[in-house]
Structure 1
Amino acid sequence: MTADRPACALTLAKRPYGRNHRFMDEQSPITPFPKPDKPARRGGQVAFRREELMRLMTVYGRFVSEGLWRDYALHMGAEEAEFAVYRRASEVPVYRIVKCPALARKQGAWRIQGMDGRVLKRGRALEPLLRYFDAKLLKLVED
């Protein structure tokens, strides 16, 4: 220390970046983040991709135009995503189209369930699964 400068001025003169810069030897020790009890889930939520949702809405639109379906609901949870269709808004769903990626290697990620919860069709891809509804729209036309 010199007599003409106070101690703090001498310390600031040694610092090239000014008052707020801290050197590595002046920092407090780094403490690691605590580890969670469970490993974190990747993704966290199962959802429909845009292409899947477009195909579902196409089938839904065809049935609405025929007057068979009136409402739909989406539910996206941690293990499965569900597209439910209704005849009326106050009923239980007529069909539930469920995407469950955990079953993709076993039984297929997709399934159609009826009103009573029975699995009507199961598949690995959405497009072949939705062909189930094609037979429901066929009408007998007389000449």
Structure 2
Amino acid sequence: MTMEALPTSSTAEQPEKVTFDRRELSAILRVYGFFVAAGEWRDYAMSFGREAAVFAIFRRSAEVPLYRVEKRPKLRAKQGIYAVIGSEGQVLRRGHELEAVLKVLERKLIRPVD
């Protein structure tokens, strides 16, 4: 008599999507709003997958993203769950606290007065 494996539940087959919670999204949109008000950024897109949640920032909607704010839970114990990635794929900042990681973008808004 052979025993077949019992079917697994649907939650085991399909891992949950990674998303930004309300606090995280609020922090990201606060920085985004400053740049929109300054005329630097005009569009954004969000993507939620099994590995990461991504907030992509665009100067114009037809371009590649200038920056991506990523949340990758699997990196929580290593480099940090949050990262800001530049347009060419370079990691500008990575860390465990979203507000600290977003400071790399805030510095770009502050310019000396000519």
> What TM-score results when the alignment is normalised by the length of structure 2?
0.88
Match of 2:81 among 85, 109, 124: 109
Aligned alpha-carbon RMSD (Å): 2.0
Gaps of 5+ in 1: 1-33
Q: Quote how far apart the aligned CAs of 1:138 are.
A: 1.1
Gaps of 5+ in 2: 1-5
1:50 aligns with 2:33: no
User: Larger strand proportion, structure 1 or 2?
Assistant: 2
1:119 aligns with 2:91: yes
> What TM-score results when the alignment is normalised by the length of structure 1?
0.71
Question: How many residues of Structure 1 are paired with residues of Structure 2 in the alignment?
Answer: 109
Q: Quote how far apart the aligned CAs of 1:118 are.
A: 1.1
The one-letter code of the counterpart of 2:12 is A
Structure 1 residue ranges, 4+ long, deviating more than 6 angstroms after superposition: none
1:94 aligns with 2:66: yes
1:35 aligns with 2:7: yes
Secondary structure of 2:45's match? strand
Partner of 1:26: none
Pair 1:43–1:50, CA change in 2 (3 A) = farther
Q: Alpha-carbon deviations, 1:63-111, whole Å to 9, x = none?
A: 0000100000000001100000000000000000000000000110011
Partner of 1:82: 54
Counterpart-to-counterpart distance in 1, 2:45 and 2:36: 14
Taking only the aligned residue pairs, the percentage that are identical comes to 43
Whose radius of gyration is greater, 1 or 2?
A: 1
Relative CO higher for 1 or 2, CA cutoff 8 Å, sep ≥ 6?
2
